[in-house]
């Protein structure tokens, strides 16, 4: 009987601990990305992200805590830094492609052309279409 009580307490303690750790993880993402947390969770490694205002783009590379963007110049930027300029969130769009794209062959105009041809699918979009 004592073994069952101890085992139950240990299982409950691990469950509570796991719940607290999961909550802290979600708070870390929300604190860093704010309104961009949806973009963090919905994007995948290899997705193409385009800042429509600055015309910067790159491929998303995610780990368990951050989403980095690898640009054409082989710079690695945080997702937040690519999307925000002067403290304001710019219009952006995240694309996914079935085929592998070479970043050295891409330009902003080529990406928009691929979008018009439906060669890449829009995963996330914010801002107003003109």
Given 3-state DSSP classes, what are the helix, strand and coil percentages for the chain, each rounded to the nearest 5?
45, 25, 30
- Please name every residue paired with 50 in a beta bridge, in sequence order, or none if there are none: 57, 93
pLDDT of residue 93: 92
Give 28-52 pLDDT, tens digit per residue. 999 998 888 889 999 999 999 999 8
Mean residue pLDDT across the chain? 90
Give 71-117 pLDDT, tens digit per residue. 988 889 899 998 988 878 889 999 998 888 888 888 899 999 888 98
Q: How confident is the model at residue 130 (pLDDT cuts 50, 70, 90)?
A: very low
Which residue's structure tokens are 């279409």? 129
Q: How confident is the model at residue 57 (pLDDT cuts 50, 70, 90)?
A: very high
């Amino acid at each position: 009987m004592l073994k069952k009580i101890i085992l139950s307490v240990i299982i409950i303690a691990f469950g509570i601990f796991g719940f607290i750790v999961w909550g802290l993880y979600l708070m870390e993402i929300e604190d860093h990305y704010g309104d961009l947390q949806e973009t963090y969770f919905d994007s995948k490694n290899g997705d193409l992200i385009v800042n429509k205002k600055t015309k910067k783009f790159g491929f998303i590379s995610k780990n368990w805590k951050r989403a980095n963007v690898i640009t054409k110049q082989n710079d690695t930027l945080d997702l937040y830094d690519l999307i925000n300029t002067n403290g304001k969130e710019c219009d952006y769009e995240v694309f996914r492609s079935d085929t592998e794209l070479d970043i050295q062959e891409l330009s902003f105009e080529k990406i928009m052309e691929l979008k018009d041809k439906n060669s890449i699918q829009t995963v996330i979009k914010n801002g107003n279409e003109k």
